[in-house]
Structure 1
Amino acid sequence: GMFLVSLPYAVLHGGYWSVIFVVIVAFICCYTGRVLITCLYEDGVRVRASYREIAEFVFRSRLGGMVVNAAAITEALMTCILYLVLCGDLMLGCFPEGQLSFTAWVSVSFFCLLPCAALTSLRHVSWISFWNTVTHVIINCIIIVYCLTRAAHWQPQKVQFHVDINTFPISVGIIVFSYTSHIFLPTLESNLMDKSRFGLMMNWTHILSAIFKALFGYIGFVTFAEHTKEVITNNLASEPLKVTVNVALVVKALCSYPLPYFAAANFLESSLFSGWPLPSCWNSTGDFKLWALLPRAALVLFTYVIAITVPHFALLCGLIGSFTGTMLSFVWPAYFHFSLKRHSVSCFVLGLDLLIIGMGLLFGSVGMFVSGRALHKAMSHGYYSPPGNSSALTPIVAMRS
């Protein structure tokens, strides 16, 4: 996805361990995604329809489902916020001496995205997402080809082996966030024509994703070394190429916004606007009510306000990945599988579930603390300098209102 552009920045702070974790996280997310789907079934029959229903059954209360739903809504909304931050960051990278500030560029993006409030069909969102994928593959290939043309100047010796506890958790959070998709998996599996091939699909998509992300992060970093920026496209030396790629990525980011926005809106509507506690968004014929566009527009406005308040792309990735990413992709799927299937799986599988739960809690708590502290420092001073590494001062987009 769009957050691939921050993986070289993750290698800047995590070195070879970031590359290794790209593979480890891919394996864990593939495994937890598959076991999450098995929790929908009992004796080969699909008895649960969603992530929330699994949580309600395991926790034996609606509160458990509400907590999982809240985490899913948070992740979807924060993804939307990150798209807006990315738009502002990319456009400011194109025109650093221009008349428009970061806040102004985000404001332009906000007005472009207001029509999302009228999106009520998943079919339209799916078509937009399909062409986004095609465009993004082309852009990524352009970036890799550019890095390969500079192979003579690569600096592999700059990739570190040691781990700095002050920066590595941020890298892990960015990596985890780049793999989060579990909230969509039950719906995806239910719409497959041949559900028996779900596991094969998960295996191949995560294998290919791990290979590409590891190579992209490594090649991107050795090309620019300590000068690697939060968004790798801002490192392109050719100004026309950088502007072209950044503008294309902005268009892609704007078109990527509808999918997580649509998911967040649906989560909120099913939780709040389904007749209780608030009036339903739909009339008796199943059509969307006109007044329901107002809360949807307010949702777009909310993402805009947060985007201009916390304009730090990579650190937000790390913070969100450490929180919702580890819980939704590591801890809860493994815990649900352990609770529901512990009498029908091997001790090895149960041990793997417990290991993943422990890793998720450890990386999540440490990552939230480190990312939160770095984000506070970045918002206070306009930059983030890793402790003990003053030579690698990394500028971060400050609030430029």
Structure 2
Amino acid sequence: NGVRVRGSYREIAEFVFRGQLGGQVVNAAAITEALMTCILYLVLCGDLMYFCFPGAGLSKTFWVSVSFVCLLPCAALTSLRHVSLISFWNTVTHVIINGIIIVYCLTRTADWQPAKVQFHIDIYTFPISLGIIVFSYTSHIFLPTLEGSLIDKRRFACMMNWTHLLSAIFKALFGYIGFHKGGDHQQPDECAAVPLRVSVNIALALKALFSYPLPYFAAANFLENSLFTGRPLPSCWNEKREFKCWAVLPRALLVLFTFVVAITVPHFALLCGLIGSFTGTMLSFVWPAYFHLVLKRHASPLYTRLFDAFIIAVGVLCGSVG
């Protein structure tokens, strides 16, 4: 078995780029990606609840504010075990919702519009879509911690291959079935679909709330490791590795920051596409392949090095187009 000598992307970047600046750049990209994901969940909650009760006279900002209040206790999360428990219920909710939507679409095959399904690239919308897709796949910031916590680390590559492959297949099928049902305007049925739509939207809002703690926990840890390590600010932890009470305040301010951005930034989908095109492609394509190329250049065969170079080229191209 190999011996772990670097336990985070920041440590790897500092070694590859020969200095702390490279680690800080990678850390900043990871923090940006994690916070953008948190903001996305807040915006999603606001949109879903607003469309559940469009005639109630309550704005999207109101529902985002309600979501913010519900998520404020996340500032007290200091254990990955608690975050994992919340993520478990997020997964359960996710499976139930997807099952309901797929079954509903399959029972409405008579309404499908296959003629409207076209496979072509729209140069005006594809770059934004590409950035959003990359943004939705950026799990790399969690991987060093995840791999380090596995009992049998030899199964990590198998887990990565199967989860990402199944995720890609399911997302493609889910989008294809959904578009078949609604066409390009996605118009819902009038009366029959209203209770279902409200129920699914509420469940999706709960799923977004359950999804928030994981990227928030990652962003908080990145910031604590960067700032609260004795220099320039005091540590959030005492000598017994117990969390200090005052350290909850900066974490609460971090939740507040995501709320403020969620209610002030217009056209959030465009911002997601932009962030995904930059930090997403760098974290998912360019940096991992480049780090592997540098660290394993003497031990890897030629075809592996060429494949790393190909991934870097694809990442640069996708990021530039986005």
Q: TM-score normalised to the size of structure 2?
A: 0.95
| Alpha-carbon RMSD | 1.9
**1:120-149 CA-partner distances (Å, limit 9, x unpaired):** 111111101011101111101111111111
Identity of aligned residues (%): 76
1:310-329 alignment runs, 5 A limit: 310-329=265-284
Partner Cα distance (1:111, 1:48) in 2: 38
1:156-305 → structure 2 map (5 Å cutoff): 156-228=114-186, 238-305=193-260
Write out aligned runs for 1:111-130 (5 A).
111-130=69-88
Q: 1:101 aligns with which of 59, 63, 67?
A: 59
1:357 maps to: 312
Deviations 1:70-124 (A, max 9, x none): 0111111000000000000101111112121011110111111111111111111
Residue number in structure 2 paired with 1:48: 6
Alpha-carbon shift at residue 209 of structure 1 (Å): 1.2
Partners of 1:264 and 1:236 in 2: CA distance: 43
- CA shift, 1:235, in A, is 10
Quote the Cα distance in structure 2 between the aligned partners of 1:113 and 1:80. 10
Contact 1:338 1:353 in 2 (8 A): yes
* CA–CA distance in structure 2, aligned partners of residues 196 and 203 of structure 1: 13
The Cα of 1:313 is off from its aligned counterpart by 5.0
* Cα distance change on mapping 1:235 and 1:146 into 2, 3 Å: farther
Q: Which runs of 5+ in 1 are unaligned?
A: 1-42, 368-401
What residue identity is the alignment partner of 1:269?
E
Q: Is the 8 A contact 1:82 1:316 kept in 2?
A: no
Unaligned regions of 5+ residues in structure 2, if any? none
Aligned to 1:154: 112
Classify 1:236/1:366 alpha carbon distance in 2 versus 1 (closer, same or farther; 3 Å). Answer: farther
User: Counterpart of 2:280 in structure 1: which amino acid?
Assistant: G
Matching residue's letter, 2:142: F
The 1:279–1:209 alpha-carbon spacing in structure 2 relative to 1, beyond 3 Å, is: same
Query: Deviation digits for residues 194-253 of structure 1, max 9, x if unmatched?
Result: 111111111211221122111001111121121138xxx999961111111111111111
2: distance between equivalents of 1:273 and 1:192? 27
Q: 1:91 to 1:246 in 2, by over 3 A?
A: same
Structure 1: which amino acid aligns with 2:316? L
Cα distance in structure 2, aligned partners of 1:234 and 1:62: 56
- The structure 1 segments of at least 4 consecutive aligned residues displaced by more than 6 Å after TM superposition are 233-237
Distance 1:219 1:227 in 2: 14
Q: How many residues align?
A: 322
Q: Is the 8 A contact 1:334 1:356 kept in 2?
A: yes
Q: 1:329 to 1:236 in 2, by over 3 A?
A: farther
Query: Which residue identity is paired with 1:293?
Result: V
